[in-house]
Chain A
Amino acid sequence: MAGSRSADAIWDRLDGFDRLLEHRTRLGVCVLLARNDRLNFSRLKELTDETDGSLGAHLRKLEEGGFLKVNKEFRDRKPVTWYELSAEGRNRLDRHLAALVELISKDHVGGEKE
């Protein structure tokens, strides 16, 4: 059963799996940005239900990992930060999702065999 395997053992066997997307918030942010052209910080915060600090940390990791393009602008004298998925980020997300699908289907087939 997959439940008894260690995370490392499972993920390391998967081609395309991205460690940075292992956390659900980062995966959620990337999926949101894949479905939309761009979202700003407050909208991401509202949708992910994260605190400012926590979401900021996740976004920083994604930005440093090359997933995101960040744009800052002022609106009514208030700073607004917009996030977009980079081309590299989109590629890596696609590969990560494909790896997840592969894992799920393998587990499903394995489960039926057991």
Chain B
Amino acid sequence: MTDSRMESDLGYVRDVLDRSERNASPSSIYWLWAIIVLVGFPLADFAPGFVGLYWTVMGPLGGIASGILGYRFSRSLGQVSRRAGRQHALHWGAMMIVIFAAVGMGIAGTVAWSEIHRIILLILSLSYFLAGVYLEPPMIWIGLLMFAAYFVMFFMSAYAWTIVGIVVAAGMIVAAVTGGSGRGRQS
């Protein structure tokens, strides 16, 4: 085997590996979270008393549903990886724990309750952005959209969370249509 052939072979292996890691999430996960966000964010404007309950239930439930959808998708794609599943679970699990910790600060009174929503939006924007960097590229745009929404909220007084919810859900729908994968192939 010559140097050039070895180089070409290793390049081929690297290319194959790169392509295998370029899986988009199933679009169903983006749609699921678009719906959860579209209902959950406006609650802060229309029924603030239900915000905590809604996210305490829908956050973990949405996470579990995403895990199931992701596993079903990977089986239908033909590529099952516990390592990738663990990465997603750690990333989104950590995000939820930090959000609950932020809510805890609001309940304890160490941070003004009126600021907790904004802090959560910042946590969400960073989490989605980093997910875009390390896990699913389309999420970078959702993270940036959330970060922009954080600034916009300083200039809005009425229905701010409803508008932010619509914008974020729209971002997820765009990601579902452009970046998310539909069904995998069978063999």
Using CB atoms and an 8 Å cutoff, list the residues of chain A in contact with chain B: 1-3, 7, 10-11, 22, 24, 27-28, 31-32, 35-48, 75-76, 78, 80-81, 100, 103-104, 107
Given contacts A35-B83, A48-B16, 12 further A-B contacts (CB under 8 A): A3-B3, A22-B1, A24-B13, A27-B9, A32-B17, A36-B84, A39-B80, A40-B187, A43-B77, A75-B186, A76-B186, A80-B187
Q: How many residues of B contact A (CB 8 A)?
A: 27
Q: Using an 8 Å CB-CB cutoff, how does the interface string of B12-31 with A read, 1 for contact, 0 for none?
A: 11001101110000000000
Q: Mark B145-187, 1 if CB is under 8 A from A, else 0.
A: 0000000000000000000000000000000000000001111
Those 4 A-B pairs whose CB atoms lie nearest each other, nearest first: A42-B187, A43-B78, A40-B78, A24-B9
Q: Which of A2, A11, A27, A31 sits near B2, CB closer than 8 Å? A: A2
Q: Are A47 and B80 in contact (CB under 8 A)?
A: no
Residues of B within 8 A of A38 (CB): 79-80
Q: Is the CB of A107 within 8 A of B187?
A: no
Question: Is there an interface contact between B83 and A24, defined as CB atoms closer than 8 Å?
Answer: no
Separation in Å of the A21 CB from the closest CB of chain B? 10
Contact surface of B with A, Cβ cutoff 8 Å: 1-4, 6, 8-10, 12-13, 16-17, 19-21, 77-84, 184-187
Chain A nearest CB from B184 CB (Å) reads 8
Task: A31 to B14: give the CA distance in the assembly, Å.
Answer: 9
* Chain A residues, Cβ within 8 Å of B12: 24, 28
